[in-house]
Structure 1
């Protein structure tokens, strides 16, 4: 998936999570969008890879694309790091929800991900799409609509209370 689809995916996922959690929705959603971009640090052409090119290059040389940073191990390690250094639970959960949204979206692509890294098995859904293709545009539109739907639910009550 492209960076824009990951952004709207992180937005939709964090807004959906905000529906039933007690975390600050503004912080949760902002962190969710950031978290949705983090796994692509392994790709120099990604939004985050362009922002941190040296880190991106090192990670790509060590692990390649869609392996370690697209795994449950990475999610677990990020969770430990966040809980060790970040005191705001809304930030922690937002980033983790965003990362999960990224992994799910990339499992819907033909290349899939190495979810069980270091085990070298590729995980993808039975129905997949090409990154940047017409089906991804439909996914993007659907996630945008879900963001509006969940956003209304979250922020209508947020500003009323």
Structure 2
């Protein structure tokens, strides 16, 4: 199954989209410690074969998202922002069930239910496990993880896409 993409014309457009996502109430309700001012720097990726997120490391002082031209899409931006958001939970698999849930939820919120349904079907065709929806913690924020199998109720589109109120 081919997933529709929304191209972004250049790094500036990618940056503006990232700012819209990270500046949203939806994002703030899930990742209050990941603000617009902390966004990873976007790099053009000349010669890179794919897009990727690189966290701050001993030999690399800033987080970056590398975006070769062909990967400058809303879908890819949501994917890479998901890696950044879950960085503080190293126990989660890099592309595991919780990451798949976050990607599905963010596509639903920022690209629409139809795109999210297409993604859900594609994930199912590839037998990708998707964890249960984010839950509201004692602090009042939505929390993803730990990686766990979804409950049986997630076999329907509505349950698979539900993330609760977005404020």
| TM-score (norm. length: structure 1) | 0.29
**Bigger RCO (CA 8 Å, 6+ sep):** 1
More strand by share: 2
